[in-house]
Amino acid sequence: MDELDSTKEGLSTEQVTKRQLEDGPNELSAGKKKSLFVKFLEQFKDLMIIILIVAAILSVVTSGGHDLSDALIIMSVVIINAIFGVYQEGKAEAAIEALRDMSSPAARVKRDGHVLEIDSKGLVRGDIVLLEAGDVVPADLRLLESVSLKIEEAALTGESVPVEKDANAAVSADSGIGDRINMAYQNANVTYGRGLGIVTAIGMSTEVGKIAQMIESADETETPLKRNLNRLSKVLTWAILAIAVVTFIVHILRLDVLNQENVLEGLMVSVALAVAAIPEGLPAIVTIVLALGTQVLAKRNSIVRKLPAVETLGSTQIIASDKTGTLTMNQMTVEKVLSNGQSFSAKDQMPKEDMTLRVMNFANDTKISQEGDLIGDPTETALVKFGQDQGFELLSVLTENPRVAELPFDSDRKLMSTIHKLENGNYFVAVKGAPDQLLKRVTKKIVADEISPLTQDDQKQILSENHKLAQEALRVLMMAYKYVDAIPSVLTSENLENDLIFAGLVGMIDPERPEAYEAVRVAKEAGIRPIMITGDHQDTAQAIAKRLGIIDEKESERHVLTGAQLNEMSDEEFQNKVDQYSVYARVSPEHKVRIVKAWQNKDKVVAMTGDGVNDAPALKTADIGIGMGITGTEVSKGASDMVLADDNFATIIVAIEEGRKVFANIQKTIQYLLSANTAEVLTIFIATLAGWDVMLPVQLLWINLVTDTFPAIALGVEPNEPGSMQEKPRGKKASFFSNGVLSSTIYQGIIQAALTLGIYGLALAFPVHADNSQMMHQDALTMSFATLGLIQLFHAFNVKSIHQSIFKVGAFKSKTFNLSILLSFVLLAAVIMIPGLNRIFHVSHLDLYQWIMVLIASVSVVIIVEIVKFIQQQLKK
């Protein structure tokens, strides 16, 4: 108090005014915000977007300004992507706004010796604040007084039960937030008792403020999808420029005459080739595939806030999960009861007259609303809920045996006692409390409904049972009772809580979610490592991790690291040891961020789950942050990329499977587009070298438009291939060209080009109109045009699976795919067969013989690729 120049009577008005001017209001800063226009402009910095804009300009130039369809499609894609990007901006802003909204609207403060109720924004350091059950702590406080004070800090620390506060406790300076029992923190909820504290920090200086700063300063993690697309963009940019320049030079040299007409013709061919080489439909297709993925996930309780998160899920290698509310129910539950010499589980039926059952319900301050809801401390409501499940009618029993006096819980003696009047005029005393404290006051025991003296051996046995339950991470309470003839005139612990009869022990826990064990098993089978990060005690975390299969039963201890131990490690030391630990206990928000970054520095893709304010910085830092929709705070949701609508850990595994499917489908789409574009580039380039006019710019652009759209989108929504969750995650270093895609793209592009050029050569060698050179040339041009278009449509069947035969995955399994191929075929054939259109595209009608040649060449690509796949499969064996 001396440091803050304050007294228990509070600050003076002059002191308050001075400090408000110095420190400002007790609120979180809003941070710098970008204008909507700036956010929109920033969306055009992406290299792929720049390439698309250039492609739009080039397509207009190529058509002489007459054909704007390509340009309109490309610019529509660009603008839609930009709008969506702006919509997704500002996760940190949303998270911090949620933090601001959580602030307590009012605070009871003592100033000039008087108690006032003020807006919490007006608090200053040194203010004396009064707390009682139901209050929200308005700032960080050093407690001066505490009377049975309990504060629920789960959102800040991750601890599943309210913390018993003690103003007189001595706490070391390096203690974690969860161990500072002489402090109360902003936004925590007072659940029991009352207290008095002096404000030590306000606004951004509070623990919640520090979290807000961490959220604001956390770097946006670049998703694997964005990295891959950027890498692809750079490769394509240089390749396309090189090909266009070389084609232009070769065209000019081939003509051997440098005039304006030849230069313009060469420029148009080069530009058309460049436009054909750019997979302008890719960003749109990626967006569509991701958007459809979000719809699938939404139906399965995963709400995606950022599209690339769908694909990022598929590459997840580490799931760093918060314990409370994510892996566990965030609801205290009675799991074991030792009573009357017997052991009962939560599923067993206990006798309604059992004394342990009676005491846990009598020595209890839980209120039951008219709707039947239990209101009170989570530990006490768990005891009443257990009684209800056992058929113990508390309200009717209390009507017969009403409470007439009590000794409230006290953090010093760690006991609570209630006195109930019996029908015979005597009184029943029910006492519950900490086993080590209550056992000192017990002199008798009840076994098999017989009361006998409590021996030293009995005491050892009780302590042994208590230790066993504690090792199972159960929170243990002891129940005792006695009968008295009259209520003492002066109620004290000494004259009431003595000569008691031991009734039993009750073990409680925040239980793991039923589906979590199977989800952890599936994750491990998929090559994903689940780790637990919690603010809870080490023993509790370790026991839950064992029950879930996160850590091995035999090697559990060396896999657990506490926040205090982490503080003693340098970043370099922790980096070297991070893969040794699967459980982190008693950690702070800073620790969570440090753990996530350590894994990321090992090139691992990290998914972080959480529901509390304390999880928000790590959620934002992780490659994908996963918030809880039911128990999660608005802060954690705002910092997340995805929110689980059902708070179900198993839903993450469903989302990961969908993410793997999305990546595989994008990979198939890229293989299809780039192999087709490779075929187009090689066809034009080789034809230019050979002096052939194998295809006109307008024809190339039409093929590019027709074949790059519908089949590519259909490939993007293909169903998942079997066995995807038995494969290891691809990780950060994997690209769209991994898993043999690059080699397949190249050889399949060469095959398509060779078949197209082959048909052009055959058409010239065996012409239908041999007597008319113009018709002969136009027929050859039309056949190469039809072949290149159809060959790409047939090739789409090959790409339905990168390595498996189309007969195994089902060539016609997808209706969407079948319709897309049919539509593309109609559009391609229409320009050849419909009078008027063929003049625009400079093509002629083909006879049956010519169509048969085109179809044989087009189908050949399927046969050749199937043979290659078969050979590849045989070589793997």
Catalytic residues: 322
CA distances 562 to 156, 164, 565, Å, are 17, 21, 5
CB 729 within 8 A of CB 659: no
CB 149 within 8 A of CB 197: no
Pull the structure tokens for residue 390. Answer: 């056992």
d(CA 731, CA 739): 12
d(CA 15, CA 11): 6
Pull the structure tokens for residue 217. Answer: 């300063």
d(CA 605, CA 563): 23
Q: Which of 444, 429, 426 is nearest to 491 (CA)?
A: 429
Sequence-separated (6 or more) residues with CB below 8 Å from residue 494 = none
The DSSP secondary-structure symbol of 2 reads T
Q: Which of 671, 666, 705, 658 is nearest to 797 (CA)?
A: 671
Q: Which segments of 325-455 does DSSP mark as H helices, in order?
A: 355-362, 378-389, 394-400, 435-438
Q: Which of 97, 87, 90, 76 is nearest to 33 (CA)?
A: 90
d(CA 186, CA 204): 11
Q: What angle do CA 69, 71, 75 make, to 5 degrees?
A: 120
CB 206 within 8 A of CB 188: no
Q: Which of 618, 516, 531, 536 is nearest to 158 (CA)?
A: 536
- Cross-strand bridge partners of residue 607: 319, 624
Q: The tokens 């009352």 sit on which residue?
A: 194
Burial of 866 (0-12, 13-18, 19+ CB in 10 A): middle
Sequence-separated (6 or more) residues with CB below 8 Å from residue 800 = 668, 715, 718, 806, 809, 810, 811, 817
d(CA 383, CA 363): 10
Sequence-separated (6 or more) residues with CB below 8 Å from residue 78 = 44, 49, 52, 53, 56, 283
d(CA 220, CA 243): 36
Q: What is the dihedral of CA 370, 373, 378, 383, to 10 degrees?
A: 90
Pull the structure tokens for residue 647. Answer: 């708070």
Q: What angle do CA 340, 344, 346 make, to 5 degrees?
A: 140
d(CA 277, CA 675): 10
Burial of 531 (0-12, 13-18, 19+ CB in 10 A): buried
Buried b (16+ CB within 10 A) or exposed e, 481-509: bbeeeeeeeeeeeeebbeebbbbbbbbbb
d(CA 628, CA 330): 12
Strand blocks (E) in 672-829: none
d(CA 823, CA 828): 9
d(CA 162, CA 139): 18
Pull the structure tokens for residue 517. Answer: 């064990």
Helix (H, G, I), strand (E, B) or coil at 204: helix
d(CA 151, CA 165): 7
